[in-house]
Structure 1
Amino acid sequence: MYKKLFFIFLIVSVSLLSACISRLARPAITGTIQDYQNKPVAGCKVGETMTDANGQFYLKEIRYNKFFIPEMFYMEAPPLHYMEKIEKEGFLNYSIEAFHRFGGGQSKGATANLDTIYIKRINEVIKVEDFIYSNWKFAANKNLDTLYGTNTNFRPYNSVTNSRDFVQKMDYGLDYKFRSAKKPDTTWSAESYDLKTTYFVSLHSNGTYRGKKIGKYQNPWKHRREYDRTYRESYSIADDSLNTSGKFKFSKDKIVFDEAFNRSKNTYKIDSIDRDIIILTRSNN
């Protein structure tokens, strides 16, 4: 009787140890590769595949198996990280990269549609006037000294500069410390908060612009948690919002806005511009 139970236990144990869980190594990826003139780029290498005559590509889903018992001890899905190179003779090299903390636990059939990715020819000359007249979203500091802008074509994974620093500034803004002059009540002291400034600007070829500047205050977590616990509600500072419109002049590598954009020193040098991004630095001249 005991031998029979032992063998049953052994068989069950071996079965569990040999049982596997399917994990995601890379989702199926689809997208289109185009040049800066919106023409499809055929024969472009993307990972292990090539784009067709329409510039479209498809990468198959990749999965791997893990033993069931060891996976149980982790108590969470594994992370997912993948990177695929984009290469074409005569063009700059790019890459598709993604990371998800628990993405490895996605079930079969996971997909990622990357839409259109624009790639730049080597030594391609960018004409500012071809790209400047667009709807821009700028991340800036309080004084609008440096403006990191993107337009509607921008994709984080297709950053022309391939700069994580640029993408981080766009995602999280150029925060600066704001000293609160008000206290929630007498039990609190005035605290410092981070302020993120975003400026939405539409530049038109007739020399006019429309904009909306938004200042969003972000409270330190420890103070927000204390307020939540005491008052059972979140404490927040209302966003500042300002609509503007006016005129600007564009000349070579400079843009000069009128006073409606900012009160003073509205001459900006175009440090960098591409199809999707622009970096403006305020000049004293």
Structure 2
Amino acid sequence: MVIKKVLLLVCLITSSGILISCLSRLSRPAITGYIFDYNNTPLSGCKVSETKTDAQGRFYLKERRVNRFILTEMFTMEAPPVFFTIDIEKDGYQPYHSDFFQRHGGGRQKGAFDNIDTIYIKRIGQQINIKDYIYDDWIFSTDRNLDTLYGINKNYRFNNPVTNNTEFQDKYNWGLVYKYKSTTPPDGSWNPESYDLLTSCKITLQQNGSYQGIKTCKYINPWRHRKEYDRIYREAYKIPSDSSHSSGHFTLKDNLIHFDNSFMGADAIYKIDSIDRDILILSRKKY
């Protein structure tokens, strides 16, 4: 009888220990990357959170983990989010701060590692020469009438603290969705104006003054308007995107770009509101 009580006590203690024992959760993955200036020169001694860059401009941040009680984690039923910040500082350069959020990142296994590639930081007071950056392949998010164009090039990285501006990112991704009448109706029974579209333009600007472009109108979540179709045919209803090509010539003077009438059927003049290594914002001037 005494032995049974002892065994029962041991089982209870063991069960309690299991329930309150700790579970390792990620609070920040190991991170590596490079810090360069705008002349593609690696910056040594640049402070990146708690570490500094080496002679090649490389930095490495160690992985961080925290212990959580298993019992508490069982009640949440999902891995916790991960939120951390990275600060970049160097004398003579603009300081940068960026927040990183991963919805269920806390569930990543030990050894989690992220490479955020190369980050370019700007000298304090450094002036951007438009001609050094304008001749490139740009992808613009815009409105129906192409009044304002928010552009990125191949250098753009979403997780780059230098260009990861929340206001710009929101406008580029979601701020320009609108009700648009497609040139090709989805079918005979549905009004195309009931669909949300996102307009984008891919434009290549050449140093010889020529350009090539394609404008695309992409449907956003079209299936939410076609639940009946999905229910009957058991498949998603896909609507082809509208696209149109254009090519012609442009002139660049000061901070103005003048496109010929091939761009949108009439001459168009745009003011360069902002330009950097990775982003370009153009606003159309009214006659």
Superposition TM-score tier, normalisation by shorter sequence:
over 0.9
* Correspondence for 2:78: 76
Task: After TM superposition, give the deviation of residue 262 of structure 1 in Å.
Answer: 1.1
The 10-residue stretch of structure 1 (123-132 or 1-10) with the greater mean CA deviation from structure 2 = 1-10
1:72-118 deviations in Å (ceiling 9; x for gaps): 12111111111111111111111243211111100011111011000
Q: Given residue 153 of structure 2, which amino acid in structure 1 is its aligned partner?
A: N
* Correspondence for 2:29: 27
Secondary structure in structure 2 of the residue aligned to 1:14: helix
The 2-side partners of 1:53 and 1:224 are apart by 57
The 10-residue stretch of structure 1 (77-86 or 163-172) with the greater mean CA deviation from structure 2 = 163-172
* Correspondence for 1:52: 54
The 10-residue stretch of structure 1 (91-100 or 116-125) with the greater mean CA deviation from structure 2 = 91-100
The 2-side partners of 1:244 and 1:184 are apart by 27
2:211 to 209, 212, 228: 209
* Correspondence for 2:95: 93
* Correspondence for 1:248: 250
Task: After TM superposition, give the deviation of residue 137 of structure 1 in Å.
Answer: 0.7
Fraction of identical pairs, as percent: 52
The 2-side partners of 1:128 and 1:7 are apart by 77
Closer, same or farther: CA 63–8 of 1 in aligned 2, 3 Å: same
Contact 1:160 1:274 in 2 (8 A): no
Contact 2:34 2:59 in 1 (8 A): yes
Closer, same or farther: CA 34–175 of 1 in aligned 2, 3 Å: same
Task: After TM superposition, give the deviation of residue 61 of structure 1 in Å.
Answer: 0.5
1:66 to 65, 68, 71: 68
Task: After TM superposition, give the deviation of residue 37 of structure 1 in Å.
Answer: 0.6
Contact 2:202 2:215 in 1 (8 A): yes
Q: Given residue 37 of structure 1, which amino acid in structure 2 is its aligned partner?
A: N
Structure 2 residue 111 is matched with structure 1 residue 120: no
5 Å-filtered alignment, 1:1-285, equals 1=1, 3-158=5-160, 160=162, 163-172=165-174, 174-179=176-181, 182=185, 184=187, 192-219=194-221, 222-285=224-287
Contact 2:144 2:178 in 1 (8 A): yes
Q: What is the RMSD of the two structures over their aligned residues, measured on CA atoms?
A: 2.0
The 2-side partners of 1:134 and 1:267 are apart by 19
Q: Gaps spanning 5+ residues in structure 2: where?
A: none
The 2-side partners of 1:102 and 1:185 are apart by 43
Contact 1:34 1:55 in 2 (8 A): yes
The 2-side partners of 1:185 and 1:229 are apart by 19
Q: How many residues align structurally?
A: 284
Contact 2:157 2:163 in 1 (8 A): no
The 1-side partners of 2:207 and 2:30 are apart by 41
Contact 1:173 1:196 in 2 (8 A): no
Closer, same or farther: CA 88–183 of 1 in aligned 2, 3 Å: closer
1:3-36 deviations in Å (ceiling 9; x for gaps): 2353033212222133211111000000000001
The 1-side partners of 2:180 and 2:117 are apart by 39
Closer, same or farther: CA 4–225 of 1 in aligned 2, 3 Å: farther
Normalised by the length of structure 2, the TM-score is 0.92
The 1-side partners of 2:210 and 2:192 are apart by 41
